[in-house]
Structure 1
């Protein structure tokens, strides 16, 4: 049963946007997706899908017209190797996308606008130890974000704040902490660690050597995509306009992440570390205290629980590409 509300999901050809559209339709929305490309691995569930380059103001005006709520996920982004290598292009593209989409949404009188930010906004000086203290929302200042991608995200968070304070335009800001799951990018250079490691392990035979970026002791927390899209909608429906972390606080080293994936795969691997490769900050974890206070909710899917369907999906893709089947029973 549709509820009469219209939603725009930008970045609808991407991983989180594709899953979010399915979730919103399940909640009764009429959904328009917009992206520069269609989803790669599955047909969109959107009621309407607009191919649009959101760096162009006129195209932002076109896709935001007649919309109640904008879930703005469109971004030039990728894993640590990608965002470390292309500061100028990423910053320019995302500045144009975010400023023009935000302005177009206000022009059309959109009721609520959600901006997808990132844990990359947090200061690098707080993330130099693998045994990191979980990051609180207020820790973003004094600022020292990830160059390029993180700096632009932090700027747009403030722009959303100013739109709300000066023009009473309702905005929400969500800071994602490492989202993973099926139907996400798993090769090509833009993939995140869970997908990259799943692809590598799926390509190996039992006992083979696995190359890991960094020394394997860097730490992260990871959030399953089903929790992510539920959290996005809960934050949008809340009355809280300041930035909120959306992630889990289950901290693991990259080596421990490898061990979990290898166990799911039913394979043993020999870890080999390449410390010349980008590895990002030494440690990053989400403090969910404010999320629990605001929503009375937080992501609940454990890392191993979420990695099972994630690995299985990637394993099937890799097996089809390589022409072999080494799928282990769970």
Structure 2
């Protein structure tokens, strides 16, 4: 019989791509999402399939799934600044109560549990690139703390369930990821820039543009997560693309890609915005034999092709973009 996996946040950007991957691998997939930031359009192609089922449910409340579960992947969480600054309490609850509920389910079902953590656990890092043994530089009461501390708590309780209850657990620290199904108005740098370019607006940079990011295409990320789940690695593992670029240079890449002639305008940097972000993926290379295969140039072409299909009405509805 096929193995069965529960994926929370299934209608979101990453969750929907994970659903696709596990369906392709022959798993029976249970998707769960309360649609607070997810969109059923991302998974509507899966509904006719016999090996996919969906529950509209908030994992911050008690979670019950009948039948056997082999794996649980917890990806339910607002992940963009616009979202978690707008719904801070829900962000904290899904990271704390939601993770607790799902770990309890994993214990009951004897399922392996993988938590989606993030590079944000490193805060505004003083170590560069960021390795898994770096403990971070995080403001616990700043505006970003509702997300950062929720993720740090997730890691702590996941490891506690592993050491105390013997649950099989995995922790992936996800760095900046992009690809089709991102929301143009989710506040992250890539969709913000592409949305502005498609609407004919100037590209907005917060700060002087010298801050860096490293962008991983979604298919590469999903491959890394899949390998981590099936590995024996209990400690956190960075999954991301170490190809670092400044925000200013990235804006120039988007202008060139889209063939537009917008200017770049500058605004003050938000509080606690990381100045540098680049993963050290030595552990993933060694333990998972994983490294990203898709270049930023190729990934951006695919992503831009996806966004170009948006209607004028859809583009107008995303005008409140902010870049963080």
- Determine if contact 1:214/1:279 at 8 Å carries over to the other structure: no
- Determine if contact 2:60/2:93 at 8 Å carries over to the other structure: no
- The CA deviation string for residues 20-63 of structure 1, in whole angstroms up to 9 with x for no partner, is 11111111111111111352345142611111111111xx1236
Specify which of 176, 189, 193 is matched with residue 189 of structure 2: 193
CA shift, 1:277, in A, is 4.6
SS of alignment partner, residue 4 of structure 1: coil
**Structure 1 position 107 matched with structure 2 position 114:** no
CA shift, 1:315, in A, is 2.2
- Determine if contact 1:123/1:141 at 8 Å carries over to the other structure: yes
Mean Cα deviation higher: 219-228 or 46-55: 46-55
Specify which of 246, 249, 264 is matched with residue 253 of structure 1: 246
SS of alignment partner, residue 124 of structure 1: coil
Specify which of 112, 131, 138 is matched with residue 133 of structure 2: 138
CA distance in 2, matches of 1:197, 1:143: 27
CA pair 257-278 structure 1, distance change in 2 beyond 3 A: farther
CA distance in 1, matches of 2:105, 2:215: 33
Specify which of 176, 179, 182 is matched with residue 177 of structure 2: 179
Q: Which residue of 1 aligns with 2:160?
A: 162
Residues 89-100 of structure 1: pairs in structure 2 closer than 5 A:
89-100=90-101
Q: Aligned pairs, how many? A: 306
Q: Which residue of 1 aligns with 2:41?
A: 40
CA distance in 2, matches of 1:55, 1:316: 35
Q: Which residue of 1 aligns with 2:321?
A: none
SS of alignment partner, residue 235 of structure 2: coil
Q: Which residue of 2 aligns with 1:56?
A: 61
CA shift, 1:140, in A, is 2.0
CA pair 322-123 structure 1, distance change in 2 beyond 3 A: closer
Q: Which residue of 2 aligns with 1:312?
A: 305
CA distance in 2, matches of 1:210, 1:141: 30
CA pair 225-314 structure 1, distance change in 2 beyond 3 A: same
Q: Which residue of 2 aligns with 1:15?
A: 13
CA pair 238-320 structure 1, distance change in 2 beyond 3 A: same
- Determine if contact 1:219/1:282 at 8 Å carries over to the other structure: yes
CA pair 142-314 structure 1, distance change in 2 beyond 3 A: closer
- Determine if contact 1:118/1:177 at 8 Å carries over to the other structure: yes
CA distance in 2, matches of 1:313, 1:4: 32
CA distance in 1, matches of 2:15, 2:101: 19
- Determine if contact 1:199/1:318 at 8 Å carries over to the other structure: no
The ranges of structure 1 where at least 4 consecutive aligned residues each deviate by more than 6 angstroms after the TM superposition are none
CA RMSD in angstroms comes to: 2.2
Unmatched runs of 5 consecutive residues or more in structure 1: 128-132, 324-330
- Determine if contact 2:241/2:292 at 8 Å carries over to the other structure: yes
Q: Which residue of 2 aligns with 1:130?
A: none
CA distance in 1, matches of 2:9, 2:88: 20
CA distance in 2, matches of 1:44, 1:102: 29
